[in-house]
Structure 1
Amino acid sequence: MMGAGWIDLTGRRAVVTGGTKGVGGAVVAALVGAGARVVTGARSRPDDLPETVGFFAADLMSAEGCADFARSAETELGGVDILVNVLGGSSAPGGGFAALSDEIWMKEINQNLMAAVRIDRALVPGMLERGSGVVIHVTSIQHELPLPESTIGYAAAKGALATYSKALSKELAPKGVRVVRVSPGWVETEASVRLAQRLAEQAGTDYEGGKRIIMDSLGGIPLGRPAQPQEVADLVAFLVSPRAASITGTEVVIDGGTVPTV
């Protein structure tokens, strides 16, 4: 983990959505390690969340849940300097476009686009009042490299998030608020480990074989491995820090070289 000597966020107030596991959990730990005060939320508090991290139970898939969480977080911190929208994911079934009902589409959109839109709408005005702040939107390389078997809705929602993020950056940058997208490829989270194990069992191979199946489905990862959550978190910690003060409106890809285009 980066030390505060390299990234110093002492006194900064941060909100992280989806911060109880996977990439979000690593982001919370990295920001706390760099000295920030951090608040996160989910439907229930995990047992391993550090006591120093503020937590509010909320359903961020709903407009009401987002509003309640944002209000509680802002009150707890007395204002927000850093907002990292990590919340995302997909539970859509396989089977291509025909398997996706309106209900599934709306779930993908609420989870991967509207949660960030709603939280931004609640917390960014305070940043604008102070004339400073950083917003990170965690997108995905799948908005460039969608997998039609099961992630059409997820990829489309992340594509919308990327476009929204770019527009937001143009509006906010002249007012002192930076907006940056972080676009991971395959990250070896708890969920992806379970996926690799399931694929390995189906194919009659071991965990490394399951990982190879996933990498092959992506067209290969030149680096030869998935990213680790901590690697994504360290990138986020840098981007929200003063060391990245000139970075806004762009997308930083962390995918081991997966996307094959310029």
Structure 2
Amino acid sequence: MNLNPKELTDYANTFIKVLVDYSPKLISAFIILFAGLYIIRLINRFIRRLMVKRDLEPTLTKFLADILLWVLRVILFVSFISKLGIETSSFVAILGAMGLAVGLSLQGSLSNFAGGMLIILFKPFKVGNTIEAQGVTGTVCEIQIFVTKLITFNNQTIFIPNGSLSNGNIINYSLQNTRRADLTISISYDTDIRKAKDIITSVLNSNPKILQTPAAQVSIKGLTDSGIQLAVRPWATNEDFWDVYSDTLENCKQAFDAAGICFQPFVKESTTKTSTAVDPKQQN
């Protein structure tokens, strides 16, 4: 296509006229954009500092600050394109449809997200606590938005989805400062119960890691076919719990050996019975 100089001049004049007419909107739109980004950054810093001063959970602080940041950015972007003269109603409708589609496709993730928010807000446990949930026991290493990270006693890393974690039973072993060990020691019916209880009580009193208050208990738990079950319940701090658990069993065994008392092992009765059927015809 060949253009003569007059047509080129007309196109140039038209472009310059449109540019001059549109330049105020363009300049004001970019001023709003850059000023808005700067203000959003200031607001985000202020909100983070405010939540840190209020001693909010670090995970919750980061999450709320990020959500606020992106909400303000979306509002700024809509204002920017609106200032340029672009119709925003259709754009907002598209964003809504996209949000609905993403929400339907990520139902499981949204459930974990809601569970993470509940855990962060209501704090059934925190980082450093030892908990038992969903069939596993470990120390909470990190509380994320979608999963909670646990480190087990054998140094395995387990990620539990927050959705199932928030809807299930949670045992927090670190919420209280002290913890009771529930031990069972079996003795035979020939053993003097009073003597066995005195030996166990002496073992408990000689362990400095066992708390005096609440006092440890030694009582009869049950009378079974295999022997007498004694319930031994010493108290200890969370830090000394497993030492007390192990030391109590070991020291009771040594004390019983010295006194000539044997632990009564649990004997499981056989449920299989053999029978011999005799043919009536063979009896004759």
**TM-score under structure 1 normalisation?**
0.20
Q: Which protein, 1 or 2, shows the higher relative CO under an 8 Å CA cutoff with sep ≥ 6? A: 1
- Structure number with bigger Rg: 2
> TM-score scaled by structure 2?
0.18
> Where is the helix percentage greater, Structure 1 or Structure 2?
2
